Copies of this chain bind each other. A is one copy, B any other.
């Protein structure tokens, strides 16, 4: 081993001195650009390696105007769904040399704008942001950003640049049709009270509208906020069924509360799907281990993240892709009326 490296951070110049090759050529070797003789390359790499040199991308980015960062802005990390989108983004960025930087908004438009400003100050090569709803300031920044901007998870609205997602209005409507076709008529909705969750709101709206078209009103509805969603689903279901024992179908804002409701029904010996039908949303893996499979719709979040990343990596603009959320009937919607 050589002696301890200096506390002063190493620069290209150190590698240049150690190898007797000009800074420019060292730079070429380290980036794998341009023609460099094998001998020179070896000398440079040996020097860089033995010094433990790590290039300074800040300087590199400033000089080249190329930044390998992608800004990712999502509401939260606690909701299972977003990490899965991140995983998809991570997968889609694979091999492109791009790296995700993420920020959470906690469903607060002002924080979204602040986080976005912060991220744009790094001049990322692209922006991926959840949803189509942004405040005026965020909207202006996104419109001015001269890089791919992909709004994900939702296509019910007008994107600023590209969008990849599903129509939550259509998803709600599609579920309503399946529920009606199965003969259920006294239908309750169990949602969340997170004001900023536009996608849940749209599903509910699509669901209610489709019911209305068939002359069926929403019979009851309730909402929760915070805490363990599985337990909340159980408790909400117990409360709603106590208040409205006539209900024959329960549509949940998401699979986790739906699973809680399902477990409650099974524990109570309620006949599912005969006496009461159930459905959630997201298509979580989780459901596969339950004693009975909850009806749901696959929200395609991994695929959405991956596709968004590909759009950014490809430097594309104006791409709009609406994926179709597969309806998974599971065991909680009866087949015959």
Contacts and interface: CB of A to CB of B under 8 A. Distances in A.
Contacts of A87: 76-78, 104
Interface stretch (A20-28, A127-135, A246-254, A287-295): A287-295
B123 A9 contact: yes
Q: How large is the interface on A (under 10, 10 to 19, 20 to 34, 35 or more residues)?
A: 35 or more
Count the copies: 2
Contact of A101 (B56, B99, B141, B267): B99
A9 B146 contact: yes
Given A121-B55, A230-B288, A77 B62 contact: no
A141 B260 contact: no
A50 B291 CA distance: 59
A5 B289 CA distance: 51
A182 interface: no
A69 B317 contact: no
Interface of A: 1-7, 9, 52, 54-59, 61-62, 67-69, 76-78, 80, 82-84, 86-87, 90, 99-104, 117-123, 140-141, 144, 146, 162, 227-234, 259-260, 263, 266-267, 285-286, 288-291, 315-319
